[in-house]
Each structure stands twice: as C-alpha cells, then as structure tokens.
Amino acid sequence: MSKNHAEVVVVTGAGAGLGRAIAQAFGKRGARVGLLSRSQERLEAARREIEAMGGQGLVLPADVADADAVEAAAAKVEQTFGPIDIWVNNAMASVFSPAREMTPDEYKRVTEVTYLGVVYGTLSALRRMLPRDRGTIVQVGSALAYRSIPLQSAYCAAKHAIVGFTDSLRCELIHDNSHVRLTVVHMPALNTPQFDWVKSRLPRKPQPVPPIFQPEVGAEAVYWAAHHDRREMLVGWPTVEAVWGQKFIPGWLDRYLGRTGYDAQQYDGLADPNRPNNLWEPVPGPYSAHGDFDSRARAFSSEVWLTTHRGWVAAAAASLAGLALVALKRR
C-alpha cells in the first residue's frame, strides 16, 4: 500500500497488551494509526515502534470511559491523517474477585471501560463513517462474552453486553442498507501485561486460563477480520469450545468451572496485596504487548489458520473427495 493511500486506523487500549500488538499489525503494513489509551509513556513507545515498521502513529491520551475524550481523539485523527477507515475497540478493565466482595464503584468502572468504551468508540466512528457510507468497526470480544467464568463477573458481563449492543447495531445497519461493516473478534486467553496490573483479591498471582496464546495471534486475527466480510471470528480452539459448550452443556460448564475456575486463574505463590492496579489510573512502567507467560504461550493457532484459509481448505477437501470418488468408480 502506498503512503498516499495508507489506511487510517484507530486502536483503543493501544498502549500495551493486545492493543499494542494490533497497532503493530496495522503499522507494519504501512497504516496511519491513532493510538488511544491513558498512558502517554506507553503510547509514545507504541508510536516509535510503528514508525520503525514503516507506518505512522498519533498519540492520543484518553480514557475510553469519557465519551467527550473519545470524540476529541477521533476528530484529531481525521484532522491529522484524514478519514478513518477502521476503528478497533479493544480497551478493557477487570477485577479478579468474588462477586460478594465487589463494590458498586468497581462494577461501574469495569462497565464504563469495557462496555461503554466500546459504545463511545463505535458512536464516534459511526459519526464519520455513516455519512461516507464506508468503514469498518472491529469489536474485540472474548470467549467470556459467551461463557462466563467465576471471579470476573464484571468483565464477563461487560463482554456479554458488547455482543448485545453489536448485534442490535448490525441489524440497524442492514435496515439502512449501510456499507459500514461491523465485526467481532472473540479472543482466547492471551499473554498480556494485564495480569501484572489488574485489580485482584485472589490469594495467588492472577494468570490467563490456559491454554495461553501470544497477543500477535489475536492481533493478526483482528487485522484479517478488518479486511474480510465476517460477522464474527473465534480465535483459538478454546474460544470455539467455550461458545459451543455454552450452547449445548451450560449446566455442566457451571459445575465444572465452579470446581476448576478458581485455581485455573491463579499460579506461582502468594500475590502482593499492595501492588498497584490500573482500574482507576494507569500503572507506570514500560509495559509492551507481552506479559509474563512467554514460556507457556502459543505463537500459532491452527483454528485461526483454518478460518483464514478456509477457501483453500474447502478446495483441498473437494479435490480429495473427487479423487476418492474416482478411485471408488475404478474399483
């Protein structure tokens, strides 16, 4: 893609973790990327990475829970780079805690960031895309949008809400014959820094529920979904299992997760009860895309490969079926 026709992309939660990896995925392909999160320090680092890859970055310090700040960031992107082609809603917050120990303010904050941040980002994107009748909005979902787990009730509820909001909006876009495209990419457990800073009341250190994937697996899925007409994309076989398990055996999963879901989200000794968390303010530090689980994280997903190459897979299957039929006729 030439620099004169480079895609203009906005990524929320771009300072670290999956958002940082998504920004890199677009940046290395020459995109102009608006980088939105609360930490100026990490956004500046993300911008330098993108520009070293051949793209362009624009630092936009903002809290996605502030609708006015999100709208101002969108305006700044278009003022600097031109019309927004792709908007990726990725920012999130969580609290690891039994529901009985959660506070109303914690539920409110997680909902404002993880759910309403998506709503605000989507509305800002639509204000610009609908009059032009083009553009793509990518919602970063989760396996937990379909199958909740214990100790993350606020986050799971917010991810469920994203699906409800997106499905409703998709119907409206179809009714209006709009060419603005909407897609959701549901993630498995990823090796990101969120487990270093998430607010937690767990006795041991929090971890993603294994199997764990590197954030680049999710980032490449987001890039692919942004350029292909797919309603939803399930990243990694564990996400497929969660979605289909919830359809057919939800009661069994309730009991299974009641027995295993606490231990699966903890590892490696006692947690520091005084460690800082990012629920209200960003935690300082040079965090990047990866967390502490590189030795256990997978850099490849066969399920994602099959999804993104299903035309080839179908052709190969048809060829094999044809060869088998010929062999049977000869026999």
Output the six-digit token pair for 273: 């009860």
Burial label, 225 (beta-carbon count in 10 A; 0-12, 13-18, 19+): buried
How many structural domains comprise the chain?
Answer: 1
> What distance in Å separates the CA atoms of residue 239 and residue 301, rounded to the nearest whole number?
11
Is 314 part of a structural domain of the chain?
Answer: no
Statement: the pTM of the whole predicted model exceeds 0.95: no
Query: Number of helices and strands (H, E) in the chain?
Result: 12, 13
Please state whether beta strands 204-206 and 266-270 pair in parallel, antiparallel, or not at all (unpaired). antiparallel
Is 331 part of a structural domain of the chain?
Answer: no
Sign of the alpha-carbon torsion through 268, 273, 277, 283: negative
pLDDT tens, position by position, 306-325: 888 876 655 655 555 555 56
Looking up residue 101, the CATH number of its domain turns out to be 3.40.50.720
Residue 2: pLDDT above 50? no
Output the six-digit token pair for 217: 């697996």
Is 328 part of a structural domain of the chain?
Answer: no
Question: What is the reported pLDDT for 3?
Answer: 47
If you write DSSP's letter for every residue of 65-97 in order, what string do you get?
Answer: T-HHHHHHHHHHHHHHH-S--EEEE-----EES
Is 30 part of a structural domain of the chain?
Answer: yes
Residue 320 CA neighbour count, 13 Å, CB half: 6
What proportion of the chain, given as a percentage, has pLDDT over 90?
88
**What is the rounded average pLDDT of the residues 62-73?**
98
120 is catalytic: no
pLDDT tens, position by position, 216-257: 999 999 999 999 999 999 999 999 999 999 999 999 999 999
Is 322 part of a structural domain of the chain?
Answer: no
Is 244 part of a structural domain of the chain?
Answer: yes
**Residue 20 CB neighbour total at 10 angstroms:** 30
Predicted confidence band of residue 265 (pLDDT cuts 50, 70, 90)? very high
Predicted confidence band of residue 302 (pLDDT cuts 50, 70, 90)? confident
Radius of gyration over alpha carbons of the chain, in Å?
20
Is 277 part of a structural domain of the chain?
Answer: yes
Annotated catalytic residue: which of 115, 120, 146, 155? Answer: 155
Residue 14's domain spans which residues? 3-300
Is 241 part of a structural domain of the chain?
Answer: yes
Helix 117-132 and helix 67-81: axis angle, to 10°?
40
